Structure 1
Amino acid sequence: MAVYHACWDLTFTGLAGFDLFDNPLWLAARTAILSSFLLIAGIGLVLATESGLDWPRFSRRLGRLVAAAAAVSAASYAVFPDSPIFFGVLHHMAVASLLGLAVVRWPAGATLALAAAVLAAGQTLAFPLFDSPWLRWIGLTSVPPDSNDFVPLLPWMAALLAGVALARRWPGVGCGGLPGGGLPGGGLLGSGIGRPVVRALVWGGRQSLAIYLIHQPILYGAIWVLAQSGLFAVESPASRNFLASCVASCERTGTAPALCESRCGCVRREITALGQWDAFLTDRLDAQSRANIGAAAQRCVAP
């Protein structure tokens, strides 16, 4: 999770250009990270209710989740007003934990079947009604909302339900990560070398909410300082968008992709060298600047 967020920060600030939203490997990484959060939350829900539901304890946990989710939303509205986080992973965990209480004693097979149905519904159904700001958190939207972290109830609750089913099928799965419970007594994890690692993982698990809330502001702040330091070349999101749009437009003319990338990169470098990049992006070029950029573009496409 921290590595993924660091890569997002590097891309957002222009220090890197990871294709987080289109590259299948990055999409798979996000799915795996998010699914693991919710799977573990489902396992924890079963463990927390093994001896009956302790409502005061559950309410305190739920209150912390709601407060943390509200803090994330407030910060995102301040930093990213055009794409705020209105229903991210913490919002999802709060709502899904409440709904999960209804199935926490179901047989594993029935819960797994429900998880499959939730996944299928979230992946295949879409209705304009759910585009409403009051309903889009459910996940059946026809148009994805613009948000930096959108984790709708459908299909993502399938992961929490799968965790509930897993814990019901193997009651010891939450005790040490293995069906039957407990870490192995020998080997690396049981050795002197492994014990500090295990203790660190246990501590991290117990402080997971605090780590989740604190790590990203620290990462983003540090990376933002690096981006502003002038020590590294920074490529803004606007610059990347221009390049992608230029290449796509060039390819529609039947030009080879490699040649399009070369020509568009050349145009971008020429505009930057002329010191007209900001004016170009905001459409504030005067006649002479337009002529200079036009001449530079002609040089870039010349044989």
Structure 2
Amino acid sequence: MSELLVENLIENEAPAKKERYYVLDIIRGICIILVVLYHLLYDLSEVFGGNYAFFRSEGMDLFRDAFVGTLILLAGISCNLSRSNIKRGVKTLLCGMLVSVVMLVVMPASKVYFGILHLLGASMLLYGLSAKLMEKIPASVGFLGFLLVHMLTLGVYDGYFGWPGLFMVDVPQVPKNLFFFILGFRTGHGAGDHWAIIPWVFLFLAGTFIGRYFKEERVPKWLEKNPVPPLAFIGRKTLIIYLVHQPLIYGILWLVYKI
């Protein structure tokens, strides 16, 4: 969100208010650095034959979901600070398609059918089309409701709805096609970077209700402070960093390992 925002992975295209919440930029900056480091480890481990057992651990999966989930939540928050979520959604989806094409050329073994940019673009479009309806829901109710649905659908890919230890219901069998894979079901498709609509769109929508507090300036003033300018700067360049980092990492590692 600063030079009045390039549309970003999670930024608003052009802030509707002059205040800027730099702490959101800083958190976003930290998260995109973690994304870059994660993809560096992915390439080292899965593409160039490194033996990093910890990378395939459940703990690493939880850590990845935490920082990418934070980016998704921030994207939802930013929808309330944007003038045109439909326009941003279309542009973000186009960027996602560009990533799919580049990955198909550069790393054909790691196809991207529906990555983070596809998810965010689709979520922005959904919110843009339903914002008037969403506004009728109280912010606290909307946030808690969508957060709960997100948590209850985390296991859909693994075949269940609910929460382990409380209740679990088997999800119905679905056709083994790409549509249901993108929707969030296990269909046998493989992908190097996959963020399905279910459960992640619900986390995005939960963020849109938090964003209402920012839009109405009902948040602490310290969120407007910028204690770490370099991280805030990185957070404002999330989209360009995301678009170039994986081909760049792959190219550097290829030079190191192949020459």
Distance change (3 Å), C-alpha of 1:122 and 1:13: closer
TM-fit CA distance, 1:24: 2.2
TM-fit CA distance, 1:116: 1.4
User: 1:16 and 1:83 mapped to 2: Cα distance?
Assistant: 16
**Structure 2 residue 123 is the aligned partner of structure 1 residue 99:** no
Q: Is the 8 A contact 1:43 1:163 kept in 2?
A: yes
Which structure carries more relative contact order (alpha carbon 8 Å, separation 6+)?
Answer: 2
Farther off after superposition, 60-69 or 103-112: 103-112
Q: Is the 8 A contact 1:43 1:166 kept in 2?
A: yes
TM-fit CA distance, 1:15: 5.8
Task: Read off the aligned partner of 2:243 and give its amino acid letter.
Answer: L
Task: Read off the aligned partner of 2:76 and give its amino acid letter.
Answer: G
Q: Aligned with 2:153: secondary structure?
A: helix
Q: Among residues 57, 62, 71, which one is paired with 1:37 in the alignment?
A: 71
Deviations 1:157-180 (A, max 9, x none): 232123123223x4379x8xx942
Q: Is the 8 A contact 1:118 1:158 kept in 2?
A: yes
**Structure 2 residue 53 is the aligned partner of structure 1 residue 23:** no
Distance change (3 Å), C-alpha of 1:217 and 1:83: closer
Task: Read off the aligned partner of 2:193 and give its amino acid letter.
Answer: D
Matched residue, 2:45:
11
Q: Aligned with 2:174: secondary structure?
A: helix
Give the CA RMSD over aligned residues: 2.7
Q: Is the 8 A contact 1:89 1:150 kept in 2?
A: yes
TM-fit CA distance, 1:155: 0.8
Distance change (3 Å), C-alpha of 1:184 and 1:110: closer
5 Å-filtered alignment, 1:1-303, equals 1-14=35-48, 16-19=50-53, 22-48=56-82, 54-55=83-84, 58-101=85-128, 102=130, 104-105=134-135, 106-111=137-142, 112-123=144-155, 124-125=160-161, 126-139=171-184, 141-168=185-212, 170-171=213-214, 179-183=219-223, 194=227, 197-198=228-229, 200-229=230-259
Normalising by structure 1, we get a TM-score of 0.60
TM-fit CA distance, 1:32: 1.2
Q: Can you give the 5+ residue segments of structure 2 that lack an aligned partner in the other structure? A: 1-34, 162-170
Distance change (3 Å), C-alpha of 1:20 and 1:80: farther
TM-fit CA distance, 1:21: 6.1
Q: Is the 8 A contact 2:180 2:187 kept in 1?
A: no
TM-fit CA distance, 1:20: 6.1
User: 1:121 and 1:154 mapped to 2: Cα distance?
Assistant: 7
Count of aligned residue pairs for this structure pair: 207
Matched residue, 2:166:
none
Deviations 1:81-137 (A, max 9, x none): 444111110000011112224254232233221331243134224343253223321
Matched residue, 1:268:
none
Q: Aligned with 2:190: secondary structure?
A: coil
Deviations 1:171-197 (A, max 9, x none): 379x8xx94234486xxx6xxxx5xx3
Q: Is the 8 A contact 1:19 1:26 kept in 2?
A: no
User: 1:65 and 1:121 mapped to 2: Cα distance?
Assistant: 25
Distance change (3 Å), C-alpha of 1:121 and 1:69: same
Q: Can you give the 5+ residue segments of structure 1 that lack an aligned partner in the other structure? A: 49-53, 230-303
Q: Aligned with 2:51: secondary structure?
A: coil
Which one has a bigger Cα radius of gyration?
A: 1
